Structure 1
């Protein structure tokens, strides 16, 4: 097992290096999400193929996240981190050599494997360096690096694509990924210590399931999937949505999105640690629902900014809180599997959102697509509400039993 950080320490050298490295890696990754679908359509691809380059990437990432989660807990963090970076960067460079839609879709599928390994290993290294009692705050700052990249990278990517060939984007993304890799080499990652641990006998099916998924992380992961479904459609097609409604400077959306996250995220993480997930997740989910609905009726930049503020606040509050909740619910020697389970759900949601919502947009419009995707947040709130009610009933029943026993 990896040694836990001291109880009060959060901003040590390792944690800071993880945050900065993660920012560069996600910056390179996120620049491709809104620009690659546009490039695919520019070279003759369909809406479905534009969605496939995002969804297949996320699906292959999902598969390798599950494998990597177990591997980081058994083989070690560093081997999976290095292997993931090699695959991720090599396939990014391979895009220079091809311009056929079918080949690009296949290359993107393989690149997803590298992304699954890299991002899961980094998330697990982050978990190793966050004290348990500051899980919400630490995971929040880690997620902030993801969200900043998610917000800023599309602005840079779309701006570059508006003035330069797509190969310039490939050059920039490759540089960002390489910087991220070099920074991770400065992180002290202890080797895993083998511990003899008695295990209950499991069937083959139970063993395979436990190797790939952490059951204690399932509920937060399912909620994350519902959150990621509209997020996949939002990020993948925001540039095309701007073309539809006649707003050329659609990148303004990401400024409001990023600004609200920067303002809200630090205190939302502390609120999670002191008051629990209900104080953060429920209001955040309602804000995301409002943001999607406002976005779907947007025709002007002021309304676009309002939509970005609502959605940015909600996403910044909910996504990292769900990840911290998933880790807190899991055993300390299952951090890698818990992160793999959670991030796999994120990938699956993005993949399904990109693929299925592209079909909705082709049949209707991007505005209608965003309106329909808001139903995912309605389902999110319903499932979370049912969990809270059941949890309250269970707690009340245990309190009553305790009271009877005392009498």
Structure 2
């Protein structure tokens, strides 16, 4: 692969810009994760309706991830990134105009389209910019921009709603998205001819399906699907859970998780050099599963903070490792499609998870819901052990 810039340098202008754009756009999206259920309730909707409106973002994104991955590998990254951010800008502007449950559902669906375009474009561009010898380290840093918004976004959203109301929430998201949109025009434009000199990048759907048959793509994607599916119940309903349990300061869950996530990501290069990868993955999944189990029995703020710390430790270590496995399993000219498949697994997880957990919480309560979340975490561990077993068999053959 040929990419303009210093090949051995990680912190280039474009890499800094991609990180900044991702951080701003994802923060705008995640400010709604903990607040939309409250907004739906204010508009007269139920927990199940709230789960559907939160979850439709991921479901709509699913149908666009793979086509976007194909377009990225054929036509380049920057144009599609700007288009995705433009859709988000318009969507957030309209959220303050139309304030009904039906329109909220439709605008969240459109928001999922814009988010799928910008997120897949940014992640693929980041992978292009990272030198191969620094792939896992670079992805660890980039994943800070992806993960921290999931921690501070809901906290910011709750703080804004509590002090200024829901209209201010959508204005904040609009401001963040507009800054990201402007920054996207300062990125160096790259086309497939410069990205993959001498490599044929056509193939469309057939090539995309071949990527999905690659175990190095499907297994990590499935593991992250199970983890994020479980965590969607935490992100979407932690505020309502805390209110029901009469726990004050639930927003600190996101604060602590954010701090732990950043610390672990900065330590990640040292961890990769000193800790066996399989042990790191297994211990990360166990830590995540334990956090869900603690939430199931939480009755005070200390339990919430302990769960936040364990989840932050586990997820901050797991995501960049899984992403690295995916990118090391495919050709350079397949990065857009592979990133789309990997990202789609997270979309479906957060989308479908929020819908399912809303129904389970309504029928059985949050205690049972979080126990199920822990079960999904343990299922992810079984999937990884199966993946390792298959890899060893292949190497013997």
Scaled to the shorter chain, the TM-score interval is: over 0.9
CA deviations on 1:331-380 (whole Å, 9 max, x unpaired) are 11111111101000000111111011111100111232111111111111
Moved more, 185-194 or 313-322: 185-194
Alignment correspondent of 1:157:
157
Q: 1: CA distance between counterparts of 2:345 and 2:269? A: 21
What TM-score, normalized to structure 1? 0.91
In the TM superposition, residue 8 of structure 1 has moved relative to its aligned partner by 3.0
Structure 2 stretches of 5 or more lacking a match?
A: none
CA spacing shift, 1:321–1:223, aligned 2, 3 Å:
same
CA deviations on 1:132-186 (whole Å, 9 max, x unpaired) are 1211111111111122111111111111112222010000000001111122222
Q: 1: CA distance between counterparts of 2:133 and 2:273? A: 7
In 1, are the aligned partners of 2:82 and 2:184 still within 8 Å (CA)?
Answer: no
1:34 counterpart SS class: coil
In the TM superposition, residue 252 of structure 1 has moved relative to its aligned partner by 0.9
In the TM superposition, residue 320 of structure 1 has moved relative to its aligned partner by 2.2
CA spacing shift, 1:269–1:361, aligned 2, 3 Å:
farther
In 2, are the aligned partners of 1:134 and 1:273 still within 8 Å (CA)?
Answer: no
In 2, are the aligned partners of 1:5 and 1:128 still within 8 Å (CA)?
Answer: no
Q: 2: CA distance between counterparts of 1:158 and 1:173? A: 13
Q: How does 1:376-395 map to 2 (within 5 A)?
A: 376-395=376-395
CA deviations on 1:22-51 (whole Å, 9 max, x unpaired) are 111111111011111210111101111101
Q: 2: CA distance between counterparts of 1:362 and 1:198? A: 52
Q: 2: CA distance between counterparts of 1:149 and 1:213? A: 31
In 1, are the aligned partners of 2:214 and 2:329 still within 8 Å (CA)?
Answer: no
In the TM superposition, residue 114 of structure 1 has moved relative to its aligned partner by 0.7
CA deviations on 1:43-84 (whole Å, 9 max, x unpaired) are 101111101112111111121111111111101112211211
Q: 1: CA distance between counterparts of 2:92 and 2:214? A: 31
Alignment correspondent of 2:357:
357
In 1, are the aligned partners of 2:86 and 2:181 still within 8 Å (CA)?
Answer: no
In the TM superposition, residue 394 of structure 1 has moved relative to its aligned partner by 3.9
Q: How does 1:107-186 map to 2 (within 5 A)?
A: 107-186=107-186
Alignment correspondent of 1:100:
100
CA spacing shift, 1:283–1:7, aligned 2, 3 Å:
farther
1:190 counterpart SS class: coil
What TM-score, normalized to structure 2? 0.93
Structure 1 stretches of 5 or more lacking a match?
A: 399-407
In the TM superposition, residue 211 of structure 1 has moved relative to its aligned partner by 8.2
CA deviations on 1:85-144 (whole Å, 9 max, x unpaired) are 111111111111111111210111112111100111011111111011211111111111
Moved more, 126-135 or 260-269: 260-269
In the TM superposition, residue 279 of structure 1 has moved relative to its aligned partner by 4.0
In 1, are the aligned partners of 2:230 and 2:374 still within 8 Å (CA)?
Answer: yes
In the TM superposition, residue 209 of structure 1 has moved relative to its aligned partner by 2.6
CA deviations on 1:282-303 (whole Å, 9 max, x unpaired) are 1110100111111111111112
Alignment correspondent of 1:187:
187
CA spacing shift, 1:144–1:196, aligned 2, 3 Å:
closer
Q: 2: CA distance between counterparts of 1:304 and 1:125? A: 36
In 2, are the aligned partners of 1:31 and 1:173 still within 8 Å (CA)?
Answer: yes
The answer to whether structure 1 residue 49 and structure 2 residue 49 are counterparts is yes
Alignment correspondent of 1:221:
221
In 2, are the aligned partners of 1:288 and 1:310 still within 8 Å (CA)?
Answer: yes
The answer to whether structure 1 residue 12 and structure 2 residue 22 are counterparts is no
CA deviations on 1:173-209 (whole Å, 9 max, x unpaired) are 0000111112222221322207665799x9x984563
Q: What is the Cα-based RMSD across aligned positions, in Å?
A: 2.3
1:32 counterpart SS class: coil
Q: How does 1:19-34 map to 2 (within 5 A)?
A: 19-34=19-34
Aligned length: 395
1:186 counterpart SS class: coil
Alignment correspondent of 1:298:
298
2:324 counterpart SS class: helix
Greater C-alpha Rg: 1
Alignment correspondent of 1:58:
58
